[in-house]
Amino acid sequence: MARFANNIGTGPIYSNSITWINVNGYLHYNKVHIHPKSKVSGVFYVQTPEDCGKITFSHPASDILECCWQSRPETFSAFNAPSYSYAPIENRLILFPSFIRHEVKPNLNKKEKRISISFNFG
């Protein structure tokens, strides 16, 4: 965790003891949000059935990317796209700066729930 924080330039971090479990059934989702008063946020996927909903991150300058760039890149990546999605993978941890807007798309699996553990570091 400290190495990730150092790489993104947040300075020292500490656990601010904010941890929660998400259990998302059929059509459950998490709307667009950020994690204020934190530096690094993360999600660990415990259970990820097929079609359980991707996590989507919005580029901090997405408005500029969409309307003001004179040219479009030939291929989009997590660094130059207005938004970028990841399919959750069981037993995978995703870390990201807490100021990045993100959302979780609806779980379209009628039989199984998506289960994750999320947390913040200040």
Report the predicted TM-score, pTM, of the whole model to 2 decimal places. Answer: 0.82
**Average of per-residue pLDDT across 69-76:** 68
pLDDT tens readout for residues 99-108: 999 999 999 9
Q: Measuring CA to CA, which residue among 18, 30, 27 is closest to residue 57?
A: 30
Q: Which two tokens stand for residue 92?
A: 């995978």
In terms of DSSP H, where are the helices of 9-112?
Answer: 62-67
Contact at 8 Å (CB) between 5 and 79?
Answer: no
Confidence band (pLDDT; 50, 70, 90) for 17?
Answer: low
For 1, half-sphere exposure in the C-beta direction (CA atoms, 13 angstrom radius) is 14
Spans of all domains in the chain: 2-86
